[in-house]
């Protein structure tokens, strides 16, 4: 009874009423929910949602209120969460031996699932909604934003680190006439990207970023730096420095955290993005120190909230044709992933940064400014 009362009081401080009438209120289905969440924090909250121990009409708003109310800091830290933090300090989760295996665990999923959720270009990163009405428009605006910031033009060479299914490579080649090399650690992604870029001056390779060679007018990374890890941030910048032409421009597009942790949220680590980590702006600046000039920092984190809600809407609309392949537990897991992520951006606990870098001595160009 004491455990139940403690958690109910904590939730009420964040404006969340157990079994209350509001969309963000938690409806408890299993009494073990209280002890589990107090013991395991965000890990327990996510696991009990997936298991059906609680529900809410708007879990994204539930998570937003929990984060804004600082409930994670008030709750007791789980031994499993503490163990994760210790392992992150001792081990390099994103070493060459581990990185590809961990990334493939998330990105090599059924393409029917991802194509149903994403836009027509299969862009699996934050869209740019400034002048857009639809997801397709917002993702095209993001691709154009990246190309303009690094000054992509006809016959310029572009290295796309973590090219995914080839959306940026294809856009830069088709719209701007660039010659592109895209790299990914996923053979399945590479096969799809090669098909998407067929007939264009695009080369796709299955390769760890640390192995890439050559010189390019621009080096970009969109939604990949989250998988680099703090122990490898300097190594990443060394690769960019090695591959960038003297007057070249680099852009880093990444989700970022507000404080250093060494690991991602424990639930996301266990079930969605194993080994991932959200860098802070300070960590990015430290890694670039002595190598690059920071030309521009552009934060449009709220755009990821809208992007995630669009992905969730698409996923729910597609569920009738996906349910034969996935069970209800997966539906709840995927729903929680999208909605708790949206809640985190809405609470401004996570950001979306585009950082433009150039070599010392290079002339700044208008294209290296936020648009």
Counted residue by residue, the chain has a size of 371
- Distance (Å, whole) CA 81 – CA 72: 12
Instruction: Tell me how far CA of residue 283 lies from CA of 14, 225, 241, 287, in angstroms.
Output: 31, 12, 17, 6
- Distance (Å, whole) CA 112 – CA 321: 10
**22 in a domain, yes or no?**
yes
What is the structure's pLDDT at 86? 36
- Distance (Å, whole) CA 350 – CA 299: 10
What is the structure's pLDDT at 371? 53
- Distance (Å, whole) CA 61 – CA 67: 10
- Distance (Å, whole) CA 103 – CA 99: 6
Residue 177 sits at the vertex; the CA angle it makes with 172 and 181, to the nearest 5 degrees, is 55
> How does DSSP assign 23-82, residue by residue?
TTS-EE--TTHHHHHHHHHHHHHHHHHHTTSEE-S-HHHHHHHHHHTTHHHHSPPPHHHH
Same domain, 193 and 67: no
Q: Where are the beta strands (DSSP E) in 41-124?
A: 54-55
What is the structure's pLDDT at 275? 87
**Residue 247 near residue 357 (C-beta atoms within 8 A):** no
- Distance (Å, whole) CA 19 – CA 7: 13
Same domain, 198 and 72: no
Same domain, 192 and 330: yes
Residue 259 C-alpha from the chain's centroid: 16
**345 in a domain, yes or no?**
yes
Same domain, 36 and 118: no
- Distance (Å, whole) CA 247 – CA 256: 27
**91 in a domain, yes or no?**
no
- Distance (Å, whole) CA 192 – CA 172: 17
Tokens of 195: 């098909």
**83 in a domain, yes or no?**
no
CB atoms within 10 A of CB 236: 23
DSSP three-state, residue 344 = helix
Tokens of 194: 């090669």
**94 in a domain, yes or no?**
no
Report the domain count for the chain: 2
Domain endpoint, select from 24, 59, 77: 77
What is the structure's pLDDT at 111? 84
Same domain, 125 and 215: yes
Instruction: Provide the CATH number for the domain around residue 148.
Output: 3.40.50.150
- Distance (Å, whole) CA 192 – CA 121: 11
The model's pTM is 0.90
- Distance (Å, whole) CA 272 – CA 262: 17
| Pairing status of strand 350-358 against strand 293-299 | antiparallel
| Pairing status of strand 202-206 against strand 54-55 | unpaired
Q: Name every residue whose Cβ is closer than 8 Å to that of residue 63 and which is 6 or more positions away in sequence.
A: 339, 340, 343, 344, 347
- Distance (Å, whole) CA 342 – CA 60: 6
Same domain, 66 and 157: no
What is the structure's pLDDT at 96? 55
Closest-CA residue to 80 (of 312, 234, 267, 225): 267
State the DSSP H helix or E strand holding residue 25, giving kind and residue range, or none if neither.
Answer: none
Same domain, 143 and 210: yes
Domain endpoint, select from 77, 92, 119: 77
Q: At what angle do helices 302-322 and 328-346 cross, to 10 degrees?
A: 170
Same domain, 46 and 191: no
Ordered per-residue pLDDT tens for the chain, 371 residues:
578 998 999 999 999 999 999 999 999 999 999 999 988 899 999 999 999 999 999 999 999 999 999 876 555 454 544 443 434 344 445 555 554 455 545 455 578 899 999 999 999 999 999 999 999 999 999 999 999 999 999 999 999 999 999 999 999 999 999 999 999 999 999 999 999 999 999 999 999 999 999 999 999 999 999 999 999 999 999 999 999 999 999 999 999 999 998 778 999 999 999 989 999 999 999 999 999 999 999 999 999 999 999 999 999 999 999 999 999 999 999 999 999 999 999 999 999 999 999 999 776 655 544 45
State the DSSP H helix or E strand holding residue 256, giving kind and residue range, or none if neither.
Answer: strand 244-257
Domain that holds residue 73: 2-77
Same domain, 200 and 134: yes
- The count of C-alpha atoms lying within 13 angstroms of the C-alpha of 199, restricted to the half-sphere facing its C-beta, is 2
**92 in a domain, yes or no?**
no
Instruction: Tell me how far CA of residue 342 lies from CA of 14, 143, 200, 301, 346, in angstroms.
Output: 17, 21, 35, 10, 6
């Amino acid at each position: 009874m004491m455990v139940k009362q403690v958690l109910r009081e904590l939730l009420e401080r964040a404006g969340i009423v157990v079994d209350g009438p509001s969309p963000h209120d938690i409806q408890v289905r299993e009494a073990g929910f209280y002890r589990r969440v107090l013991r395991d924090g965000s890990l327990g909250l996510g696991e009990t949602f997936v298991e059906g121990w609680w529900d809410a009409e708007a879990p994204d708003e539930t998570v937003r209120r929990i984060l804004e109310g600082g409930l994670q800091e008030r709750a007791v830290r789980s031994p499993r969460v503490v163990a994760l933090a210790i392992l992150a300090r001792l081990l390099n989760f994103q070493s060459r031996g581990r990185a590809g295996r961990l990334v493939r665990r998330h990105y090599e999923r059924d393409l029917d699932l991802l194509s149903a959720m994403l836009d027509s270009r299969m862009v699996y990163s934050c869209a740019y909604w400034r002048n857009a009405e639809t997801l397709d428009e917002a993702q095209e605006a993001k691709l154009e934003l990246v190309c303009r910031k690094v000054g992509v033009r006809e016959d310029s060479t572009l290295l796309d680190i973590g090219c995914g299914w080839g959306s940026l490579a294809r856009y830069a080649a088709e719209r701007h006439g660039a010659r592109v090399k895209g790299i990914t650690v996923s053979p399945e992604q590479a096969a799809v990207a090669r098909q998407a870029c067929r007939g264009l001056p695009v080369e796709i390779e299955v390769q760890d970023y640390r192995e890439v060679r050559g010189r390019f007018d621009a080096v970009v990374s969109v939604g990949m730096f989250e998988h680099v890890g703090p122990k490898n941030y300097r190594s990443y910048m060394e690769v960019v420095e090695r591959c960038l032409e003297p007057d070249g421009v680099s852009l880093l597009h990444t989700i970022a955290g507000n404080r250093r942790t060494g690991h991602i949220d424990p639930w996301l680590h266990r079930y969605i993005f194993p080994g991932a980590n959200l860098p802070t702006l300070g960590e990015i600046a430290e890694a670039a120190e002595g190598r690059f000039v920071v030309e521009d920092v552009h934060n449009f984190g709220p755009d990821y909230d809208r992007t995630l809600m669009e992905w969730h809407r698409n996923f729910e609309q597609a569920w009738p044709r996906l349910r034969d392949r996935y069970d209800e537990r997966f539906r709840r897991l995927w729903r929680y992933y999208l909605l708790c992520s949206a809640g985190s951006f809405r609470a401004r606990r996570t950001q979306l940064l585009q950082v433009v870098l150039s070599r010392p001595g290079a002339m700044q160009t208008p294209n290296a400014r936020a648009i």
